[in-house]
Structure 1
Amino acid sequence: MSTERDPSTRNPRPFPYELRTFPMRLVDGKVPDEVAKWTQAVALGFYGNAPTAEDIAKFAVMEEVDGRMSTGAYLTDAPGHAGAWGPEYPVATYAYHRKNLNVGGGTLLPVHQITAVTVRPSHRRRGILRAMISSDLAQAKAAGIPMAALTASEAVIYGRFGFGVATHVCQVEVASRGGIGFHNPAAAARGTVEVADPLTVRDLHNGIFARVHAATFGSIGRHDMYRLIASGQGNYASLEPSRNVRAALHYDAAGAVDGYVSYQPDESATPPTVKIVDLLAAGEGAYLALWNYLGSLDLIERVTWDMAPEADPLEWAMAAKRDYKRTGTEDHLWLRILDAPAALAARSYAADGRITIHIGDPLGHASGIFSIEVAHGTATVTRCREDGSVAPELSMGVSELSSAYLGAVTARILQAAGRLREEMPGAAARFDALFALPVAAHSLTNF
């Protein structure tokens, strides 16, 4: 996530900043000073509560689990101002951890997840973000990571660095007064749903998410903080537990937990509403059964969720389809291909075929001409010579390819949008046939 705004112009002044990278961790049981001040700078950038020393220690413990590395931009050789934060506080922050991305066919692709990007307002438009992200992506590419990812607070920043929107999420409202009616009630009554202490969700989260992640195309790994988020025990804005978060577990026919929902009342909403904090369904029937439970809550007339998939089985399971309303759709996961042959070869394909594409990359990591040949759902990707001996059929930027990678957009739509050039007639249609997917990508992870 980022608080940096897209600059229209750049100040040509010298770059008076030093970039320092360090692990988020405790040393001898204590928080290093650089970790404490970096964390305070992040909270400033995202308008979070000023973290206490205890909060920062808890953050560091969880971030060490993720192997998080943090970068700060520090002002050098500049006089301090009385009363202001000193040069030991970074004027910009940036962090990454590494998880994996479900790209279909049972493949979990290593991914470089970027987060905590802020630039102090008084230091914007000086090239700090470009310096941080350019250096970081180069190091990730050198480390053999084929893909970078982020979720963005600002929608106009990251395209110029090669990122493209890869998944969307929907905000939905489901009318629940009198219960949710289903076309096939038996489909929403599989297994058993029982109320549980939210702390149980904290303890079950990692195991259930691992199952959901392995089965969900477009899913990306979660960081350790999610155990607290899902159970209402805190988040990066505040580690104060929410007393009104409730939870229910779904048990399969054998009595094993294969899903949960955590939820809380939305006190500002009319009619009486509960909003879903987190919903994970790993077993067959768990998803509809958990919704069936939510529809049975007394005194509640509406259930809302901000992370619903674009193609939601619930919408088609409900007898009154009009009671399911999308109130918004937003870009969610942004991807950035770093190694084109590795990323394209890892992805699953539903159809066989061949196409040659030219990729432009402003940072040079994925640029080139590549032949993609798919046989039996597996791609062989070959880098072609750029001496004129091979003519590409399509030309696009790495941002466009990164958006098409999980099927968020087709080549023909990108062509109509002026973001892709067809070098040979019919190439966009051939690309779309090759890259077509049987399911829509969906990620349940914010970072």
Structure 2
Amino acid sequence: MKKEQQEIIDKLGIAELNEMQIETQKAISNHKEVVLLSPTGSGKTLAFLLPLIANLDPESEEIQALILVPSRELAIQIEQVTREMGSGYKINAVYGGRSGSKDKMELKHTPAILIGTPGRVADHIRRENISTQFIKTLVLDEFDKSLETGFEKEMKEIVESLPALDRKILTSATQKAEIPEFLRLIEPKEINFLGGAKTKLKLQLVVSPTKNKLETLANLLAHIGNANGIIFCNLKDTISGVSTFLEKRRINHECFFGGMEQIDRERALIKFRNGSSKVLVATDLAARGIDVPALDYIIHFQLPPREDEFTHRNGRTARMNSNGTAYILKGKDEKLPSFISGVNELKIDATEKEVELDQWTTLFVSGGRKDKISKGDIAGLFFKQGQLGKEELGNIELKQDCAFVAVPTAKAHKLIASLNNTKLKTKKVRISELK
């Protein structure tokens, strides 16, 4: 491994690369066309970013690499990881749901790596906000998902606008992903870590005595206890009903689905990542391509119609040789699809219990990387001036212009009172609760 790559890995706090990442690096270094098939959460992003960055020309002032992703969440996630790698190259992410004029302003300073959703990238190409003349590397991350969500036309348009394209990297978490013809792959090197991987996933069936499964859901959450998990629903209306029920039971949770405003989706994920909310109620949008920690469980409140969607949901837990459980919540007289069989039934106590979850709150800090503020600076502020113990400071998520910090709910208001309008580095920062 090159010295620069080792430094990046050290910055990310990773002890060593996994087998898939090592093999992918070799493949990308030795082949112009690579198709990487690996489960959700296995580290595909780092696997392609390391060799991609190593191949960049530090003398170039043009966009050299384009990473296309199916969702804004994945764009934000890859941008965050790339920044944390500290390569020194400029990175930008563009995606729907945010101001096109903001994109245009940021793109005036040309990035070496551009990350984006196909629709937004194609729009910028049409408007001539970006030059594609020098892009040599194209990454289609979760390419099958982009195709499923109707981006084929835009993807084809983008590929045809890359005259200098020299390297194509495709990733997917699906075994049967079909490679589109417009990519014109000749002899791609396939790296396949999907088949035969040992999993510690446990499948359990929970049967509700009635068609309305909400009471059984509450009992199941009480049975699971203080753990991180996603409740999967098929429809936005179902999420609304589940959320209303959980609110009545005072079960802290966040919702996540396609119709939400982008800022609300981002806030939901921030709270879920740092443990302020242990439960995420979501559609299949959360099954792939979002950056969330290892989950203890997922619940199929509604089963998906297709087996691959069922697999992707389950792939959110029991990752990387960890334990995890996928619960199938079955209503009275509900039939299971043919792709589910032989699942053991879990009998849970039907008596009503309180769902006990740790109480954490997310605080917003109005300073970030562009203010030369580090996670260490924020931790120091909360330890010294906020008088928090080390075990009382939760996850710190640092962005370009702000940060989010998880703290015990019982201490949140006191911390806001003592730290708001404090000077951090050279900036006076506002600190408030993230609603």
TM-score band w.r.t. shorter chain: under 0.3
TM-score normalised per structure 1: 0.27
* Higher-Rg member (1/2): 1
TM-score normalised per structure 2: 0.27
Query: Does 1 or 2 have the higher relative contact order (CA < 8 Å, sep 6+)?
Result: 1
Structure with greater strand percent: 1
